[in-house]
Amino acid sequence: MVKVVTSFGRSGVSDWLVQRVSAVILLAYFLFVAWVLLAGVSYTEWKGLFEATWMRVFSLMALLSLGAHAWIGMWSVLTDYLTERMLGSKGNVLRILAQLLTTLALFVYVVWGVQILWGY
Amino acid sequence: MLQVSIYRYNPETDAEPRMQDFQVDTGGKDVMVLDVLEQIKAQQDSTVTYRRSCREGVCGSDGLNINGKNGLGCITPLSETVRDNKLVIRPLPGLPVVRDLVVDMSLFYAQYEKVQPYLQNNTPAPAIERLQSPEDREKLDGLYECILCACCSSSCPSFWWNPDRFIGPAGLLQSYRFLADSRDTATEERLSRLDDPFSVFRCHGIQNCVNVCPKGLNPTRAIGHIRNMLLSRAA
Ligand code: SF4
Ligand code: SF4
Ligand code: FES
């Protein structure tokens, strides 16, 4: 078995499942938001919608799904192209750097998103 | 005259690979790609190097990249591949070239070895063969016919990028051949060796493998079965 420490769930099955489930949640969320927007929504209605707890929870779920989905997706792209095999030993350095940046960005987005959802 | 272009490379003496052109008179016959190579080697340039043995699609030694698509030279007729009178022959992509059209298959075989491609059964051996019902035997159809030509794995992008960690379509097809065998008792051990993000899950279902297999096998389907076995084991 191939040893892996930087993937999201460290096992192929769990990464695969998380990737599928998060995709479904994201799809549902964006379809819902698109439907609300297309149906025509005023500022007060929009604000009211995001004051409802269920919408905040739904949004948070979508945000966390996005984080997990992007982590897994970026990880598999990075381990395809930024590798020792493709670029020599600097491949490892570049990949770890890119991974750190990805993780940092995702962390910032999630925290910021929580602040937006519960801050207003 | 058929315009043939062949990849030439000797890593020991050449700085880089080059394409060499030949004109071949096939006498208007629809011969196989391997026949064209044989004719060139016999009549024009005896240094052109390639592997072949059975010349009837059984041994799997002449996997080649023919006009951009992997296949066996010996069972690919010119009519199936030649357009505009041109035939371009390269080695299988993604594997190190030993000489001209001969590639080093070590990585491919190492992945094959990883799946332990032999029957494992730790129950006491019966006096006669281990029997199998016709239905169970049928489950091996479409799996056991693989001739290990590497046409599939060397057409798979996931295998190009991670040939040391992704088992690849050929290895996984054989892995499933033993997972599906009613006489094999090592299913759990086999699955636990596949449960990482690379060995199986690097397959993204692009189906290049299915598209090129000269035996008409379907590694993507076998990989799907393995994934389902891993999922139901984890659930
Ligand atoms: S289906 Fe999977 S194994 Fe086949 S070529 Fe695509 S990624 Fe490779
Ligand atoms: S699955 Fe088909 S293409 Fe792949 S090694 Fe076996 S015979 Fe060749
Ligand atoms: S020479 Fe044996 S498969 Fe082509």
Is the pLDDT reported for residue A6 higher than 90? no
Looking at the structure, tell me whether residues B206 and B169 fall in a common domain.
Answer: yes
Render pLDDT for A13-29 as a digit per residue (tens, 0 to 9): 999 999 999 999 999 99
Report ipTM for this prediction.
Answer: 0.86
Same domain, B122 and B230: yes
pLDDT at A119 (0 to 100): 84
* B6 torsion bin: left (phi>0), alpha (psi -120 to 50), beta (else): beta
Q: Report DSSP state, residue A41.
A: -
pLDDT at B17: 98
Looking at the structure, do residues B19 and B62 belong to the same domain, yes or no? yes
The string of DSSP codes covering B42-108 is HHT-TT-----SSSSSSS---EEEETTEEEEGGG-BHHHH-BTTEEEEEPPTTS-EEETTEE--HHH
Instruction: Give the integer Cα–Cα distance in Å for A40 and A32.
Output: 13
Picking from B71, B103, B135, the residue at the C-terminal end of a domain is B103
* Domain contains A82: yes
Cα–Cα distance measured from residue B210 to residue A85, given in angstroms and rounded to the nearest whole number? 26
Answer yes or no: do B171 and B79 share one domain: no
Q: How far apart are CA B181 and CA B230, in angstroms?
A: 16
Chain B residues touching chain A at CB-CB below 8 Å: 158, 161-162, 164-165, 192-202, 227, 230-231, 234
The residue in chain B having the minimum alpha-carbon distance to the alpha carbon of residue A78 is: B161
pLDDT at A2: 75
A85 pLDDT more than 80: yes
Q: CB of B205 closer than 6 A to ligand 1?
A: yes
C-alpha angle with apex B74: B14 to B68, nearest 5 degrees? 55
d(CA B204, CA A75): 14
Which residue among B76, B112, B147, B220 is best mutated to probe the pocket of ligand 2, counting the most ligand atoms within 8 A of its Cβ?
Answer: B147
B156 lines ligand 1 (CB under 6 A): yes
Identify the pLDDT of residue A1.
65
- CATH number, domain at B8? 3.10.20.30
B68 near B155, Cβ under 8 Å?
A: no
What percent of chain A is modeled with pLDDT above 90? 83
**Would you say the CB of residue B219 lies under 6 angstroms from ligand 2?**
yes
What is the residue range of B86's domain?
Answer: 2-103
> Do B117 and B169 lie in a common domain?
yes
Which ranges of chain B have pLDDT less than 70? none
- Picking from B62, B78, B103, the residue at the C-terminal end of a domain is B103
Q: What is the total count of domains within chain B? A: 2
What confidence score (pLDDT) does residue B200 get? 97
Phi-psi region of B54 (alpha: psi -120 to 50; beta: other; left: phi over 0): alpha
| A26-37 mean pLDDT | 97
Contact list, A13 vs chain B (CB under 8 Å): 195, 201, 230-231, 234
Which of B51, B87, B93, B88 shows the shortest CA–CA distance to B72? B51
| Residue A73 reports pLDDT greater than 90 | yes
CB within 8 Å of A105: residues ≥ 6 apart = none
Q: Are B54 and B10 in contact (CB under 8 A)?
A: no
**A88: domain CATH number?**
1.20.1300.10
- Three-state secondary-structure class, residue A118: helix
Handedness of CA B52, B56, B58, B62 (dihedral sign): positive
- Does one domain contain both B179 and B211? yes
* Vertex A64 angle, CA A62 and A68, to 5°: 115
| pLDDT mean across residues, chain A | 93
* pLDDT of A120 higher than 80: no
User: Quick one: pLDDT at residue B148?
Assistant: 98
A5 occurs within a structural domain:
no
**Domain coverage including residue A28:** 12-118
